[in-house]
Chains A and B, each alone.
Chain A
Amino acid sequence: MDQNAVEVAGLTKAFGGVRAVEKVSMKVPVGQRRVLIGPNGAGKTTLFNCITGTFTPTSGKIFLFGKDVTRLAEHRRTAMGVGRTYQITNVFHDLTVLENLVLAIQGNSRQKWVMHRPVNAFSDSLKRAGKELDRVGLKDRTHDSVQHLSYGERKQLELALALASQPRVLFLDEPCSGLSPGERQRIAEIIKEFPRDITLILIEHDMSIALGLADQVSVLHRGSIILEGTPDEVRANPEVREVYLGKV
């Protein structure tokens, strides 16, 4: 048994003639914090969607904790410990913050099938929801409807939802996009405080935040990984600067 939380081997995903991800191979050991960087259209989100199960890859294999999950349904991968957030916030707008959290908590338990007792009777879930909201700083918004939350608060809620499903490996798709510098810093602080035993894989455009969080960085360009290394190595690499910042 190798100790890779995620292993991707020769993964290709094509949409018609466009190969969004081409022959990508990557190993992320358990507990590592891996950041994916790359210009827009590099295939980062597509790679995410393949690993979490939203898309079925055109070819190649995906392993989670040593198990081949290439053809496994998305909700089953979640049950194996995969959590994720979305680039465009994907939360439940017409429900309260607390209800959002309860949905995340009961997702991996039999509780979601209970029909004869009210949600309020599950004090364990409510307690855990409160704890997660505390962690991301949304405690005072518990009973508000999500549509009254600011964009930054929704991003925080995204993180709380992902954490509440108790993932072993967490995929964060641009957790800071669209936020002000101050809000970004706040999100980065929250992510830093995540338990170290959760393997983190995140996409981030803000280089200072990305490199500040990463143990290891993978650089994607036109669907392929062109470099893997520590933040310092990546920072020093002239090719990355050219690709990522664009040649003028």
Chain B
Amino acid sequence: MILSRWSLLLCVVAAALFAPLYLGPFWLSLLMQILIFGLLALSVELLLGHIGLFSVCQAAFFAVSAYTVAILQVKYGQPTIVAVPAGMGAAIILSLIYGIAVRTSGVYFILVTIALGHVFWGISWTWVSFTNGEGGITNVPAPAVGSLVITSHSSYYYIVLAVVALCVLGYRTLTRSPFGLTLRGIRESESRMRGLGYNIAAHKYTAFVLAGTLSGIAGLLYIYFNRFVSPANAEFFLSIEVALMVLVGGTGTILGPFIGSAIMLGLRNYVSAYIDQWMIVMGLIFIVTMLWTPDGVLGVIRSLGIRGKTSHNQPGHRTRTPEEGK
């Protein structure tokens, strides 16, 4: 089992490293989108899978870093080396402000984050002199460090791959750390955590800012991939779509958001070739996921695996019965 897992990982790494060699431009571009939006979905997963907070404003952090880069590069002629840290900083500052949302929980948290996401979208839409409003900001130059300009899709792919890989490794370390365990404790029982000496609000706030930062990194990758940013990148619709990626892929894992991203983006590409109504299809996926596979694709695979193992289960271990729930 362990051997096959490592060999599988090796295959994936090799496939990812050599992707530009065997993928055409269309598929490579799709793969980059899957990675970028998978990273954005991972930021949702940090809050949803670990603390149980369903954030619907991650698009705002994604868009604020993309907008910052676009405005600095296009309107003020700043180089990449200035624009990228500024974009990062903008995402962090916005998440520090939006972090007030963690004072609420459950449905109220969802509503507050919808509102906060909308505020940013509204700004990007109406502040025409600064953001170009509906038209967005076009002609963002290719990323450049000194005389090195990364123009080709395949070389930018390696940057995306490297950044996403670093983020995933960082995420993995974070979730296995005492801090990560603390977040899962909060998900399980806030009252008990308070009784054990935890300042719940401080941990939630920190996690929210970390998630916002992660969304901001995804936004940085996106702007140099797409070279264009518009209010559509800040929409409520995008926040919902990435949240759905997490649900479709399965919460509680690192792989889930990326699988969800692949399924959603793949489907969208496929479906929109035949009909325009991607929204309807997405709504249906949402309903089907929530009703029949709340643990997502990975949850289905895992439960198949467990079912296969029950024939030789160890004594002393029972499967969970419904009345054993909280």
Contact of B106 with A by CB under 8 A: no
Within 8 A of B (CB), among A91-128: 91-95, 99, 102-104, 106-108, 111-120, 122
Contact of A148 with B by CB under 8 A: yes
Instruction: Assess A54 versus B191: contact at CB under 8 Å? Given A107-B197, A107-B198, A112-B198.
Output: yes
| Contacting pair B179 A115 (CB below 8 A) | yes
| Contacting pair B320 A92 (CB below 8 A) | no
| Contacting pair A95 B184 (CB below 8 A) | yes
Contact of A244 with B by CB under 8 A: no
| Contacting pair A118 B196 (CB below 8 A) | no
Contact of B303 with A by CB under 8 A: no
What is the size, in residues, of chain B's interface with A at 8 Å between Cβ atoms?
A: 31
Within 8 A of B (CB), among A229-246: none
Tell me the smallest distance from the CB of A139 to a CB of chain B, in Å. Answer: 14
| Contacting pair B173 A118 (CB below 8 A) | yes
* B173, B179, B189, B199: the one within 8 Å of A92 (CB): B189
| Contacting pair B178 A111 (CB below 8 A) | yes
| Contacting pair A116 B189 (CB below 8 A) | no
CA–CA, A119 and B181, complex, Å: 8
Complex: chain B residue closest to A104, CB-CB: B196
Contact of A75 with B by CB under 8 A: yes
Contact of A78 with B by CB under 8 A: yes
| Contacting pair A95 B177 (CB below 8 A) | no
| Contacting pair A91 B178 (CB below 8 A) | no
CA–CA, A93 and B326, complex, Å: 7
Residues of chain B whose beta carbon lies under 8 Å from any beta carbon of chain A: 173-174, 176-182, 184-185, 187-189, 191-200, 203, 317-318, 320, 324-326
Contact of A165 with B by CB under 8 A: yes
| Contacting pair B196 A90 (CB below 8 A) | no
A sample of 7 cross-chain residue pairs with beta-carbon separation below 8 angstroms, ordered by A number, consists of A73-B199, A93-B325, A103-B185, A107-B193, A114-B179, A147-B324, A161-B196
CA–CA, A118 and B177, complex, Å: 4
Tell me the smallest distance from the CB of B197 to a CB of chain A, in Å. Answer: 3
Contact of A86 with B by CB under 8 A: yes
| Contacting pair A118 B176 (CB below 8 A) | yes
CA–CA, A192 and B180, complex, Å: 35
CA–CA, A90 and B190, complex, Å: 10
CA–CA, A108 and B198, complex, Å: 8
* A94, A108, A161: the one within 8 Å of B184 (CB): A94
CB neighbours of B188 from chain A (8 A): 92-95
Complex: chain A residue closest to B203, CB-CB: A112
CB neighbours of A84 from chain B (8 A): 195
CB neighbours of A103 from chain B (8 A): 181-182, 185, 193, 196
| Contacting pair A106 B189 (CB below 8 A) | no
Tell me the smallest distance from the CB of A149 to a CB of chain B, in Å. Answer: 9
CB neighbours of B187 from chain A (8 A): 94
CB neighbours of A79 from chain B (8 A): 197
9 extra interface residue pairs, beta carbon distance < 8 Å, beyond A75-B194, A93-B188, A107-B196: A75-B197, A92-B184, A92-B189, A94-B187, A111-B178, A112-B182, A115-B180, A118-B177, A144-B317
Contact of A74 with B by CB under 8 A: yes
Tell me the smallest distance from the CB of A108 to a CB of chain B, in Å. Answer: 5
* B198, B318, B325: the one within 8 Å of A75 (CB): B198
| Contacting pair B181 A115 (CB below 8 A) | no
CB neighbours of B185 from chain A (8 A): 92, 95, 103
Complex: chain B residue closest to A74, CB-CB: B194
Instruction: Assess A148 versus B181: contact at CB under 8 Å? Given A79-B197, A116-B173.
Output: no
CB neighbours of B194 from chain A (8 A): 53-54, 74-75, 78
| Contacting pair B178 A148 (CB below 8 A) | no
Contact of A52 with B by CB under 8 A: yes
CB neighbours of B193 from chain A (8 A): 103, 107
| Contacting pair B197 A86 (CB below 8 A) | no
- A 144-167 to B, binary, CB cutoff 8 A, 1 in contact else 0: 100110000000000001000100
